[in-house]
Structure 1
Amino acid sequence: MIKKRYLWIDIARLFAILCVVFNHVNENLNQSPITKTTVILQLIGRMGVPLFLMISGYLMLNRDYTVQDKMDKFVHHNMLPMVYSTILWTFLFSLYTYFILNNKSIALLLQNITFQNRPMPQMWYIQLLPVIYVLVPILSIAKKYFTQYLGSIFIVGASLLGIGTLTASFTQNKLVPFQWNMSGSWGLVFIMLALLIFGSYLNDIVKSKKTFILLGVGAIISFVLFVINTKQLSPAGMMSTIWYTQIWIFIPGSFLILVIEKLDPYFEGFISKSKSLQNSIIKLSSLTYGVYIVHYVFLNFILKFNIFHSGLLNTIILALFVLIVSFVCVWAITKIPKFPSFVFLTK
């Protein structure tokens, strides 16, 4: 079980939430027209969710769920708070889209509340997390007792999934039909679980020079394939391929978190010299779930004023502004006495 708090995890979380906000700003600012810059920014932004998943795998799969008290702790401190948070925010954002965004449709409101639709774009991830959390103890036990079997399933599955979606992307679904290229929900769940499993092996992988180099080479190859596919498709056609089931998302994302973990001694050596800086990073890291939840509200509000337009500089400025406002808001709310921790999953 992971007991020590590692600074690289907090830094990875902060980098991940920056990617997420950056991605959502890009999706809203740089769509008319979609350019190669839009596509590159989308590729970078998509790295956020894989980082979050691998961190969760690192922290939660390396536990012994066969011990009753540890299982109880997981249920009461991890799984149930996630379920409560998902239900709460699904309900609140359903009302938000109905009253504030003026989507005046009772049928749509009911669909949102009953999880048939996602009331806000970022909620797809939040609504999938309870399913992932339910499977965490099963994956952990399988990892402990069926290590080679479980590893083989996810390595082979992720490889087939990557090849299938890659072939579909290059052939525009002519050789591999949509229902077989795993770009849908089940393929996404599989990749999310694979990233959890991968995250649980980070310590072993980062110590293996051969594996580290192999994954780095894989990341470079996937990027080359991405560039080739970009030249083949129009920027608009390429945008639809930048999803988590594509190898140019989950392979570079996997390598990126290895690099961040490998830099941990440097983080510890530099940042730990300043106690205030270290505490600030730890505190901000604990707020990233809340920032993920609320940032879209601030983004929608700011976009109404038409101050920011397409372009790299506007994307960076708006992303940083939304990020700062979201952090301040979540931090202020968590200061309310007896504030329920499950709302923003604060400890």
Structure 2
Amino acid sequence: MANRLEYIDLLKVFSILAIITIHAFMVWQSAEILNGVLIYSFCEVVRFGVPVFLMVSGALLLNREINIVDFFKKKVNRIVVPFVFYYILTAFVIVVLLNTSHNQVENIFAFRWYFWMILGVYLSLPVINKYVQNSSLNELRYFILLFVLAAIFYQITYYFKIEQYLYLTLFLSPLGYLILGYYLSKKTFNMSANKIVMLALVIFIVSTVIKVFGHQFNYMMITDDYVANTSPILSSWLDVSIFQIMQASSFFLMCKYIYETDAIPFKSIKKVLQTNVISKFVLSVSRSSYGMYLINLIPTFMFYYYIQPLDFTGTQVCLLIIALSLSTFFITWIIVVILGRIPFIKNLSGYY
């Protein structure tokens, strides 16, 4: 296998597309289809985006020799500088060109919550890395087990309104996904790649269906509202429910082992992914993903203020979400690639 892991790039492509799609769903949060089915419920299908990004960070950054000074100069600057650049650009477009405002632009501390979360993760990473370096994969299962049990525990206590005092914030946090991603990237399973992909696909479908129905009927408290308002992670929109952990983990494994399978139709998918054009496209989007995340707010706001107020049927809204997601995906990719090739702007572009 090449030094650059193909499945990591593939995960980043699907994750940024998922995040952009979630933002497209938000444009029409109250839209309905099929006599009362809330269209926004289906955003749970792509809710794996942020958790998988965290898992990718764990797979890439953990168990490495880290010089704290060099780490902060390189890694932290690579997320902070583009954030400031795109914040100014977004504020200019929305406030000046569109002559409007938005609370996320007015309040820099709310703008792009993922940035603030990943910054905290990066600040914690040199410490967590020491734990991973001095632990075997079997020992890391302890952390992951507590991550999973904490997700189940808090979810049950919230659903049944049980007062509790057990404090497991350290485990029920972005660090859980970080270590989980590292673990799954290194773990070798005693089954064929074909079986792993098939099993992961089944788990992904089951967990996604549960999340969609849970959001629609609010009967299991598994939406991100639960996480943001009632979990120990108070100011974050990161979903740490057990079903989100299942969804993100299974998707991670599908992408990892799709390159090793030889079963139909997975073999055909692998063949397409490894063609010259697609592999170059996947690599390019992977390198652009952070910049795409930071800039995708601009086209989303344009749709929100100019298209969302128009009258559409539920079916039309579904088609618009697909169109908005794909158009934003390709437009932001092209913009970031272009900015990444301009000498004095490339370091601001988020293209790496």
Q: Which residue of 2 aligns with 1:5?
A: 4
- Indicate the SS of the match to 1:207: coil
Residues 134 and 237 of structure 1: CA distance in aligned 2, closer, same or farther (over 3 Å): closer
Contact 1:287 1:346 in 2 (8 A): yes
Identity fraction in percent = 19
Q: Which residue of 1 aligns with 2:18?
A: 19
Distance in 1, matches of 2:294 and 2:209, equals 34
- Indicate the SS of the match to 1:304: helix
- Deviation for aligned residue 1:159: 1.6
For structure 1, the 5+ residue unaligned runs are: none
- Deviation for aligned residue 1:339: 2.2
Distance in 2, matches of 1:104 and 1:160, equals 35
- Deviation for aligned residue 1:135: 1.4
Contact 1:23 1:44 in 2 (8 A): no
Deviations 1:175-227 (A, max 9, x none): 358x9899xxx68x943111110111123335344996997786677557547
Matches within 5 A, 1:48-127: 48-65=49-66, 68=67, 73-93=70-90, 98-99=95-96, 100=98, 102-103=100-101, 112-113=107-108, 115=109, 118-119=110-111, 123-127=112-116
Q: Which residue of 1 aligns with 2:247?
A: 252
For structure 2, the 5+ residue unaligned runs are: 228-237, 261-266
How many residues of Structure 1 are paired with residues of Structure 2 in the alignment? 323
1:328 aligns with 2:315: no
- Indicate the SS of the match to 1:240: helix
Q: Which residue of 2 aligns with 1:163?
A: 153
Distance in 1, matches of 2:200 and 2:327, equals 34
1:294 aligns with 2:315: no
Matches within 5 A, 1:144-293: 144-147=133-136, 151-168=141-158, 170-171=159-160, 174-176=161-163, 190-209=172-191, 222=207, 226=211, 229=214, 233=218, 240-241=225-226, 244-265=239-260, 266=267, 269-272=271-274, 274-293=275-294
Aligned amino acid, residue 245 of structure 1: V
Aligned amino acid, residue 246 of structure 2: I
TM-score norm. by structure 2 comes to 0.76
Distance in 2, matches of 1:75 and 1:345, equals 16
Aligned amino acid, residue 123 of structure 2: V
- Indicate the SS of the match to 2:107: helix
Distance in 1, matches of 2:206 and 2:157, equals 15
CA RMSD of aligned residues (A): 3.8
- Deviation for aligned residue 1:337: 2.3
> Which structure has more helix as a fraction of its residues?
1
Distance in 1, matches of 2:102 and 2:203, equals 48
1:133 aligns with 2:122: yes
Aligned amino acid, residue 299 of structure 1: T
Deviations 1:72-112 (A, max 9, x none): 5533331222233334444554555554453399xx97x72
Distance in 2, matches of 1:79 and 1:254, equals 26
